[in-house]
Structure 1
């Protein structure tokens, strides 16, 4: 299935958690001189418009980043990526995770992106094709398997599937186990939705048993609209960087302040 398009959901509450932790982690990693590999399995289009028909139809950005933009300090890496994107592409521009990565990495680092959806892949190439990114139109899980362990070996992988195929919940623990064996120093970040019927529970139980030192961070919020199934957002991070607990605590407080 290739029906999912993130333009309807860009800037929602889940994006805020995912992108804040991603931007913070990359900023932490590039403090060292050693180069970094960044791999993303389900990249989307990389750049979104918060005033697009898709975004306005759902109103999720208005409930998410539009409310929380100013809650991040000006020196926070996520806030910096937001401001840079707006300055480069216009007032309603919002960075997807590939753009956040591209803006946070250095010339010595490597950027690997997979997106299978043809229209999303074309938009991704338009947004980041001139940035030196290695962009492929293929299954993200196969793409990541073929790259790991990457060169440079130090790095981060973001796994952010749309979960429109229910078998993803069964596939991901096996995928993470395989990648972690091949790339034991990689920071592996998984985003997952928290839905009313909690299909993530078995997946997270398996992941936690396989990766006992990993970080699990979840946030809850009201559904975006009547009948919407998503009531929260989660991140599971293998080899979490030092100090990330303070960042998850910041997000916890930010969401509590929203009520």
Structure 2
């Protein structure tokens, strides 16, 4: 949806959950010298500031990264990416998932990023560091996913992180993830979703568990940033989770949910 602007939500507790899992998975894949592909269907602007008017208006970053970052060890790959972003752009910098992926992958790896919103796509192009193998697409991300899998190199990871502003997204993703897995059976597929009071994600996860035995699901409750905030939690469904990701997911959840 072209109305969604992640600048209001960047650095919130759900971002920490999503980005810490993503960074863990990418760091593991990058240990091997073989090249990999990274695809992202809804890239946003790639880079944010938690002192922006949008972030200050919602207070979500204050309840998220500002409150929770110190609970993660300094050598965690997510914290390493945040530190690199701050070193380059100042203490209020917060890297989105495209920036984290660029930081954790190597020059020989391939990155394909889709963003349909014209202003967000322009910001993405400005934010991403120039490097070989990086392509930014102004197109529907799910169409890109279907068109580009299986990628070359075949080793790799795809992050699917739509706005979820349309209820049909849940049924659409329940059908799409198994299709992508059939086309790219070695790929790590990571689907982030919000947990709302009505738990509208639950039928999607039940369908995915049936279609994809071995699916990893990580869900965490997130602190309420303000009165009336609809987000209750953050979820990530992972096909072909890398070794150790499930154990790390439990540690990430404990850090976010503790008191």
The TM tier, using the shorter chain, reads: over 0.9
> Does residue 135 of structure 1 match 2:105?
no
The answer for the alignment partner of 1:81 in structure 2 is: 81
Q: Structure 2: state its 5+ residue gaps.
A: none
- C-alpha separation in 1, matches of 2:252 and 2:63: 16
Deviation, 1:156, is: 0.1
The answer for the alignment partner of 2:59 in structure 1 is: 59
- C-alpha separation in 2, matches of 1:230 and 1:252: 16
The answer for the alignment partner of 2:229 in structure 1 is: 228
- C-alpha separation in 2, matches of 1:165 and 1:174: 15
> 1:39–1:112: 8 Å Cα contact kept in structure 2?
yes
SS at match of 1:131: coil
Q: Deviations over 1:231-256 (max 9, x none)?
A: 00000000011111221121122123
SS at match of 2:75: coil
Deviation, 1:129, is: 6.1
The answer for the alignment partner of 2:126 in structure 1 is: 126
Aligned length, in residue pairs = 258
Deviation, 1:131, is: 3.1
Q: TM-score with structure 2 length normalisation?
A: 0.97
Instruction: Between 161-170 and 179-188, report the one with greater CA deviation.
Output: 161-170
> Does residue 244 of structure 1 match 2:231?
no
> 2:16–2:65: 8 Å Cα contact kept in structure 1?
yes
> 1:219–1:252: 8 Å Cα contact kept in structure 2?
yes
The answer for the alignment partner of 1:188 in structure 2 is: 189
> 1:215–1:237: 8 Å Cα contact kept in structure 2?
yes
Q: Deviations over 1:87-138 (max 9, x none)?
A: 0111111000000000000011000000001110000000116234210111
Deviation, 1:168, is: 0.7
